[in-house]
Amino acid sequence: MDMRRRSFLAAGAAGAAGAAGAAALLGEAGTAEAATQAATEVPARRPAGFLNENVPLRDLAAKIGLRIGSAIIPQDIDTPTWNAIAASQFDVYTPGNEMKWQVVEPEQGVFDWTGADNLVSFADASRALVRGHTLCWHNQLPNWLLANVAAGDYTKTQLLDLLQQHIFTEVGRFRGRIWQWDVCNEFLTDSNPSQVDPSNWWIVNAGPECIPLAFTWAHEADRNALLFYNDYNIGGEDGSNAKHNAAFALVQGLLEDGIPIHGVGNQGHLDTQYGWSPQLLRQDLEHFASLGLKSAITEADVRTFVNNATAQVPTDNLALFAHPFEFSEMLKAVLAVPEAISFTMWGFTDSDSWVPGFFTGEGYATVYDVNQQPKQAYYSLQSELAIAAHGAPHRVKTYTPPITRPIS
Ligand code: XIL
């Protein structure tokens, strides 16, 4: 009996040819029924490309209609090894900075579209889509605009006119070539309860109507672009869900007023030193979906403390596990919600990440290391996507010995 069981397992592992052997073995000593069952249930089906480490993320995600993206900076396009990763792994790109007002209009009336144009051409060449980022944000505004506003040169109406002109110019230039626009970015306070920040530069200088107006103008300039409100900590990061609730109230209000808004972006900047609830993220994405809105993870990264900004080796070994875990769980929340249409990371290699420059002592935030080698987080995303794309392969039915009751 022992012999027989060993040969059954060995035959099963050997695949189709071995399976026939297993059936024959069972046929010898087992019931006819068992033999038929074994013969018809094997071999196991392994979908092509399933958990093959060479399959790009975008190919797996495409099978379920999800787009996988990264922020792209000029260096990503200009450095051949980086370019190869960006072109093969991702099918939606967000310019890291190249569509921000500061970059596209450095002096009033003087435009520089070089970076933005390059990004869009790179996307075309890679058969990728583009997330435009971002039209109305209090950061990275041109110095001329900040200086003129500080000097009291504009009335609110004049500032709104400038915003309208900016949106018409930029959205109009790329009309038909942008999938999603982050129209308004980071308008909410981090407090509990949270609200539209009364001290936000735009709210102070142009008034809260800048938000609905920005969406309305973006829609006029490109009827086909999906228009997003984008913010951080609106997907389970703050524990209380206070900022999520404020984002929900904001977009619900816009919808009630008939403002063209189609989605909400949760940036997804996580840090292993803080708590975060994957369940809450999924519920929050469902919550936005209940309004008929799409959603996206727009800037995912997971930072942690590192030895230095060059090597970016985590100082706490557990971070090696927290990092892929948080990436995986963010993706799984997206996978569970069909209205969540893209999962974008804020840079793909630790060499192009904004984290070391912005968070003292932190790094290791992306899925490729500083030598552009995939980290565990990359493989975790890949295996989540493989299972999502193909379904887990079904088990082979095996012979179950009769259960004998323990003698007490
Ligand atoms: C960051 C860029 O990555 C940096 O290069 C830049 O100096 C500052 O902005 N939220 C956003 C992004 O919406 O635009 C920010 O990008 C990161 C935080």
Q: Ligand 1 centroid vs 299 CA: distance in angstroms?
A: 9
Ligand 1, atom nearest to 232 Cα: 10
Cis omega (within 30 of 0) on the bond before 134? yes
Report the separation in Å between the CA atom of 265 and the middle of ligand 1, taken as the mean of its atom positions.
14
Sign of the CA dihedral with 242 first, then 245, 247, and 253 last: negative
- Asked if residue 396 lies in contact with residue 40, where contact means CB atoms within 8 angstroms, the answer is no
Q: Is the CB of 304 under 6 A from ligand 1?
A: no
Ligand 1 atom nearest 186 alpha carbon: 13
The pLDDT value recorded for residue 47 is 72
Give the pLDDT confidence score for residue 341 in this predicted structure: 98
Of 333 and 34, more confident: 333
Phi, psi angle pair for 93, to nearest 5°:
-120, 140
Give the nearest ligand 1 atom to 133 CA: 14
Check residue 4 and give its pLDDT. 35
pLDDT of 9 above 60:
no
Contacts of 381 by beta carbon, 8 Å cutoff, 6+ apart: 57, 68, 327, 328, 331, 367
Give yes or no for residue 312 CB within 6 A of ligand 1.
no
What's the whole-number mean pLDDT along residues 204-220?
98
φ, ψ (nearest 5 deg) of residue 326: -70, -35
- The two beta strands, 67-72 and 340-345, are parallel
* Ligand 1 pocket residue status of 356, Cβ below 6 Å: no
Best residue for ligand 1 mutational test, from 354, 355, 359 (most atoms within 8 Å of Cβ): 354
For ligand 1, say whether the CB of 102 is within 6 Å of any of its atoms. Answer: no
Q: How far is the CA of 283 from the centre of ligand 1 (A)?
A: 26
Q: Which two tokens stand for residue 384?
A: 């989540």
The rounded Å distance from CA 374 to ligand 1 centre is 23
Residues 80-113 have pLDDT tens digits of 999 999 999 999 999 999 999 999 999 999 999 9
Distance (angstroms) between ligand 1 centre and the Cα of 166 equals 19
Query: Quick one: pLDDT at residue 407?
Result: 67
Which DSSP string corresponds to 179-231? SEEEEEE--B-SSSS--B-TTSHHHHHH-TTHHHHHHHHHHHH-TTSEEEEEE
Q: Looking at ligand 1, which atom is closest to the CA of residue 137?
A: 13
Residue owning the nearest CA to atom 13 of ligand 1: 185
- For residue 49, the model assigns a pLDDT of 65
